[in-house]
Amino acid sequence: MDVKIVASLVELGKTAGAVAAQLIHEAIAKNGTANIIMATGASQFETINQLIIEKDIDWSKVTMFHLDEYIGLPVTHPASFRKYLRERFLSKLPPLQAVYLIDGETNAAAECARLNDLIAQHPVDVALVGIGENGHLAFNDPPADFETDDPYIVVQLDAACRQQQLGEGWFKSLEEVPQQAISMSVKQILKSKNIICSVPDSRKATAVKNTIEQPVSNLYPASILQLHAGCTIYLDQYSAALLSNR
């Protein structure tokens, strides 16, 4: 795992997005296709914006998988991650080779099985992820399951995770935040050849410190990224503020 600290949120997004674009371009040049994972949430805004404007990607050769989605939340809801990706990412690009979004409105076990079969056929070249305020990776809240081999799993969202979603303005009340989601598992994320982790904002500073400085533990789910040689975490001055060695 490598750590890059930049001055601002905008610079973080430009840097992370440009590196992601280069890795996608390289995968296409080498393999003829690229398989990517896209995260959502406020932390990804600037990274996604930069990725969209990059010029050297043949999007017709890119297959996209979706990191996580709430169970039971309509796709029309402002907090739907399918809605987020369609409006903020997919609608701004030429058609991709394939897009596999998580349908949280259908039978969750069947949806996991569908996605598990699909991603088994698409080794991931680049995963764009973030870290939650509680240190979660995707929706794998602490104590995260580090052992399951299933690529997609049903997870329970803890109180801190649900409070973050409320605090970011996606929901009007805590009661409205779903208690379950379909999430890519930790082991599946770690199978990605390259991981671009964008983590801005002071509210993520404690989670960043735990991710980088604590021993690897499922109590700090994102700490598992320490073990991934192709992972780079991009921080701004605020999210990096508590690190011992800046």
Model pLDDT for residues 59-115, shown as the tens digit of each residue:
999 999 999 999 999 999 999 999 999 999 999 999 999 999 999 999 999 999 999
Q: Is residue 98 part of a domain?
A: yes
Provide the residue range defining the domain that includes 108.
2-235
* CA 180 – CA 45 distance, rounded (Å): 24
Q: Is residue 231 part of a domain?
A: yes
Average pLDDT over residues 205-223: 98
Q: Please, are residues 75 and 40 in contact by the beta-carbon 8 Å criterion? A: no
Helix, strand, coil percentages, rounded to 5, for the chain: 40, 20, 40
Strand order in the sheet with 152-156: 68-70, 180-184, 152-156
Q: Is residue 222 part of a domain?
A: yes
pLDDT tier at 121 (50, 70, 90 boundaries)? very high
The DSSP annotation for 8-60 comes to SHHHHHHHHHHHHHHHHHHHHHHHS-EEEEE--SGGGHHHHHHHHH-SS--GG
29 CB contacts (<8 Å, ≥6 apart)? none
CATH number of the domain that residue 190 is part of: 3.40.50.1360
pLDDT tier at 246 (50, 70, 90 boundaries)? low
Number of domains in the chain: 1
| Residue 145, pLDDT above cutoff 80 | yes
pLDDT tier at 56 (50, 70, 90 boundaries)? confident
- pLDDT score recorded for residue 41: 87
Range of weakest confidence among 21-35, 165-179, 187-201, 222-236: 165-179
